[in-house]
Structure 1
Amino acid sequence: MTAWRSARAPLIWVALALAIGVPVAAAAASEQLAWRGPVYILAGFAGIIALGLVLVQPLLIGGYLPGLSAYRNRRAHHWIGGALALAILIHVAGLWITSPPDMVDALTFSSPTPFSPFGVIAMWAIFAVALLALLRRRLGLRPRTWRIIHIPLAIVIVVGSVVHCLLIEGTMETISKAALCALVLAATGKVMIDLQVWRKRRTLRGENVAPQ
């Protein structure tokens, strides 16, 4: 049992690295890259990295990654949220440079491609969370108010990102892409259930819920 516990922590980190790294490596080996320009490739991989960061976020806030204190989990969650917003900016900017008409159609929800609206909705939800996080203290948002705003937006981000990714037939390999999307949904669902159960137990005990 002791040996398993000592080996469990590195295994979790290795599993996370593989969950993100394998889809990235598979996309890097795609034959479709031969017909893509460098800006388009950068934009595409920024989108893949963004999906990987979406997986990390619930793992951090749920405290599932070993070796990190609650404080470090929250700080990492904040910084990775900023990195996620930056990755989306690079993704959108790169696609805008390579094909402005397509991006205009996507942003105005007039694109014929079925994946576009899901990506755009997820993008605006990510930007909204990032902006509110920056202005949280200035706006005086209390922990409960922040959760009421943040959790629905997080669900929109996860669902929109996963559907957007699954509907795209691009450089990402199908199986590794589906596995990453499944992990994103599973991690998000688990943290939502665990945090809700934890809050209910704290409420029944008459204790104050710690701010997230």
Structure 2
Amino acid sequence: MRLARAILIWAALATAVGLPIAAASASPLLAWRDPVYIAAGFAGIMAMTLMLAQPLLAGGYLPGLRAPRGRRVHRWVGGVLLVAVFTHVAGLWITSPPDVVDALLFVSPTPFSSWGVVAMWALFATALLAALRRRLRLGLRAWRFAHTGLALVIVVGSAVHAILIEGTMETVSKVALCALVAVATAKVVIDLRIWAKRASTR
């Protein structure tokens, strides 16, 4: 019974991750794009799929990756997520530097750009906070509060950024992926709040 449940969970995650990538791969818009632009776009798609795994790993919901193993993998996936976002932005910079500059300065005429930039800076801030956690001597509750707040900014910003873009990602699979990321993140946030409340009463 446990094995069947584990297989079902992993199969569902693989489907949630694989379908948006497969749908984007079949997009007719790819025929009109440069290789660098395509690579940048798929790096962004990969980043969005990694964001689905992150809360599941942090919450210990994936079979075989319970705490503390799940949290260790969570940190590694966070590093891969950083690389994916950097690749996404770098590719866009190569293909159109003025558009990237406008986005970074929040003067881009496309609304999705600002949401993406906010999510990007929140992701960088999360990585910096994690790297400096010991030096800053953050307590567990302070760390959870800061990390969770930044994670919410990343999820909301990335989801709106992806949904507003009319590009290679297929609409239904894109919206479904964003919704799953939001639901998974919300569940972890709720669980952490419950844990903090119980801890404070001891």
Q: How does 1:158-177 map to 2 (within 5 A)?
A: 158-177=155-174
2:169 aligned partner, one-letter code: M
Moved more, 192-201 or 179-188: 192-201
> 2:57 touches 2:66 (CA, 8 Å); kept in 1?
no
> 2:43 touches 2:85 (CA, 8 Å); kept in 1?
yes
Query: Counterpart of 2:191?
Result: 194
Three-state SS of the structure 1 residue aligned to 2:132 is: helix
Query: Counterpart of 1:210?
Result: none
Query: Counterpart of 1:38?
Result: 35
Correspondent of 1:156 among 148, 153, 158 = 153
Could you tell me which runs of 5 or more consecutive residues in structure 2 were left unpaired when the two chains were aligned.
none
Moved more, 126-135 or 139-148: 139-148
Q: Give the CA deviation at 1:63.
A: 1.0
1:65 matches 2:62:
yes
Rounded to whole Å, the distance in 1 between the matches of 2:99 and 2:93 is 8
Query: Counterpart of 1:209?
Result: none
1:96 aligned partner, one-letter code: W
Q: Give the CA deviation at 1:40.
A: 0.4
Q: Give the CA deviation at 1:188.
A: 0.7
Determine what percentage of the aligned residue pairs are the same residue: 68
Q: How does 1:80-95 map to 2 (within 5 A)?
A: 80-95=77-92
1:146 matches 2:143:
yes
Moved more, 112-121 or 133-142: 133-142
1:8 matches 2:2:
no
Q: CA RMSD in A?
A: 1.1
Query: Counterpart of 1:182?
Result: 179
Query: Counterpart of 1:109?
Result: 106
Query: Counterpart of 2:23?
Result: 26
- In the TM superposition, what whole-angstrom CA distance separates every residue of 1:95-146 from its partner, at most 9, and x where no partner exists? 0000001101101000000101000000000011111111212222222221
1:152 aligned partner, one-letter code: G
Rounded to whole Å, the distance in 1 between the matches of 2:150 and 2:176 is 23
- In the TM superposition, what whole-angstrom CA distance separates every residue of 1:180-199 from its partner, at most 9, and x where no partner exists? 01100100111111221233
Moved more, 69-78 or 163-172: 69-78
Could you tell me which runs of 5 or more consecutive residues in structure 1 were left unpaired when the two chains were aligned.
207-212
